Structure 1
Amino acid sequence: MDPNRFAYAFSVRLHDTDAAGRLFFGHLFRHAHDAYETFMTQVGLPLERLIREGEILLPLVHAEADYHRPLRQGDRVEVVLAIEEVRTRSFAVGYRFETQDGTLAATAKTVHLQINRDGSPAAGLDDAIRGAILPYLHEDRPR
């Protein structure tokens, strides 16, 4: 197994679904963010600490998703997270939502921009953040 692979699992709950019994589109981003929060904690950058104590913030500035097959209540889903791009002040996170049998159900991408606590632009991505996420950089990962 790739030591620089991060995966987060969840089950689609009844409250995640819409009237058609499928995962409500917006909940895909909630699960992506849950995976992101867990990832950041695993790499030593828990968001609650960054928000509470840090001098920097990492707001979301872009989000997109593609839905390949429906997810229904009871489905077990693995979210495979990878860093897709690291820029001067931002980084992109890619998410692959796969069913228990390995079928690709959805993909998503979020872009996070580092800013100073007062809202001003940061000079660059913090060295601790860059160092923590670079091992998970997979630019060639298919979406």
Structure 2
Amino acid sequence: MTMLLVILSFLRFPMTFSYYRNIYLSDTDAAGVLYFAQGMSICHEAYEEWLNAQGVSIQTILKEKKFALPIIHGEIDFFSPIFCGYRLQIDVKCVPIKDREYAIAYQVFSTSSPDKLLAKALTKHVCINPITRKRVPLPREILGE
């Protein structure tokens, strides 16, 4: 099975993956609260760990150059401050959008208050040919069509 098929097989059967991470002083602004851009970076860490958990190596994707999955949109909403010292649980779920795109939805919780949603984020990815940089379709059988 190719790397793309491994990644995209999870589009057809979306499941939630949880990633855990501590918030360090270097993640925060002068008020000791998670800096918004760092929130997106941490969500991307969770995405990379989700790929690793599926046996997908980003190094291999970059080396083989058979496809690329760049982010074309990103957003994050905070509902409560996230402070230095928090331990977070970031739930990651993959959602198909179109024949060439998918989204990764993130929900962020503190492990000390697992029922309280602290933030949510979304990244939209597109499948492209890395040589031409043109969009290419995701395999239809993966999308369940």
2:38 aligned to 10, 20, 27, which one? 27
Distance 2:110 2:97 in 1: 28
Q: Aligned to 1:82, what secondary structure does the other structure show?
A: strand
Runs of at least 4 residues off by over 4 Å: none
> In the superposition, relative to structure 1, how do residues 17 and 43 fare at CA in structure 2: closer, same or farther (>3 Å)?
same
* Distance in 2, Cα, partners of 1:15 & 1:55: 36
Give unpaired runs (5+ residues) of structure 1.
135-143
Task: Provide the residue aligned with 2:23 in structure 1.
Answer: 12
Identify which of 18, 25, 48 aligns with 2:59.
48
* Contact 2:18 2:90 (8 Å CA) reproduced: yes
Deviation at 1:125, TM superposition (A): 1.4
State whether structure 2 residue 133 is matched by structure 1 residue 124.
Answer: no
Q: What is the TM-score normalised by the length of structure 2?
A: 0.81
Name the counterpart of 2:122. Answer: 109
Cα distance between partner residues in 2 of 1:10 and 1:39: 13
SS of 1:34's equivalent? helix
State TM-score, norm by structure 1.
Answer: 0.82
Percent of aligned pairs sharing the same letter: 29
Give the total of aligned pairs: 129
2:99–2:140 CA contact under 8 A, matched in 1: no
1:126 CA drift (Å): 4.7
Q: Which residue of 1 aligns with 2:107?
A: 96
Q: CA deviation at 1:51?
A: 1.0
Secondary structure, aligned partner of 1:56: coil
Query: Contact 2:15–2:94 (CA<8 Å) still a contact in 1?
Result: no
CA distance in 2 between counterparts of 1:48 and 1:83 reads: 21
**What residue number does 1:79 align with?**
90
Distance change in 2, residues 1:36/1:49 (3 Å) = same
SS of the aligned residue for 1:57 comes to coil
Q: Which runs of 5+ in 2 are unaligned?
A: 1-13
Q: Among residues 68, 71, 74, which one is paired with 2:79 in the alignment?
A: 68
Shift of 1:117: 1.3
Aligned amino acid, residue 31 of structure 1: I
Residue deviations 1:67-96, cap 9 Å, x none?
000000110100000113342111000000
| 2:52 counterpart SS class | helix
Q: 1:20 to 1:57 in 2, by over 3 A?
A: same
